[in-house]
Structure 1
Amino acid sequence: MDTKITQALSAADLSRVIEMAWEDRTPFDAIEQNFGLSEPQVIALMRKELKRGSFNLWRQRVTGRATKHVALRSKLVTRAYCSMQYKQK
């Protein structure tokens, strides 16, 4: 991964990119739109920032997952997160 990219991200932004990459409903396009990181750059970032086992689990989950790619996702999916995800208690 280009170290310039990770240096350009604040700790909070880096954390948010990793969080968005883990979320099943957040497409790579949303990460690119918000942070300017393409899918290969996000993969490289995750490889660099996560432990090897965590990275491998993440790659298995996102590889071919329709919700991570706007072109593959159903037109019925209109939001990037579960409706129950951010409810206040």
Structure 2
Amino acid sequence: MILSIEDTDRVIEMAWEDRTTFESIKFQFGLKEQDVITLMRKHIKPSSFKMWRKRVQGRATKHEKLRVFEKGRFKCSRQKQITNNNISKR
């Protein structure tokens, strides 16, 4: 799969975030975990890739099956409420 520069940047950003799962990346961009790893290896510095892999490997927050959520909770408690595409104040 060929991604645009903007999509590649977004995948890297999502992969770097601890709370974004590989399943979310697959849903949005169609990339499996191994594809994301390959993309990261290709597009970031080797030292950054090693640091990212060490941090991500085995991390429960990067895999939907390993995550534990309160029932009915789908977002971080610090995330602002979104109403009709406008960010409302707390």
TM-score (norm 1): 0.80
Percent identity over the alignment?
Answer: 53
Selected match of 2:28 from 11, 34, 39: 34
Structure 2 equivalent of residue 83 of structure 1: 79
Q: State the 4+ residue runs in structure 1 displaced beyond 6 angstroms.
A: none
Unaligned stretches of 5+ residues in structure 1: none
Larger RCO: 1 or 2 (CA < 8 Å, sep 6+): 1
Report the RMSD for the aligned CA atoms in angstroms.
2.2
Structure 2 equivalent of residue 12 of structure 1: 6
Contact 1:25 1:79 in 2 (8 A): no
Structure 2 equivalent of residue 73 of structure 1: 67
Mapping 1:37-56, distance limit 5 Å:
37-56=31-50
Distance, in Å, in 2 between the alignment partners of 1:79 and 1:38 is 23
Distance, in Å, in 1 between the alignment partners of 2:28 and 2:7 is 10
Distance, in Å, in 2 between the alignment partners of 1:13 and 1:21 is 12
Larger radius of gyration: 2
Distance, in Å, in 2 between the alignment partners of 1:14 and 1:79 is 24
TM-score (norm 2): 0.79
- Equivalent pairs, count: 80
Distance, in Å, in 2 between the alignment partners of 1:56 and 1:78 is 30
Q: Which has the higher strand share?
A: 2
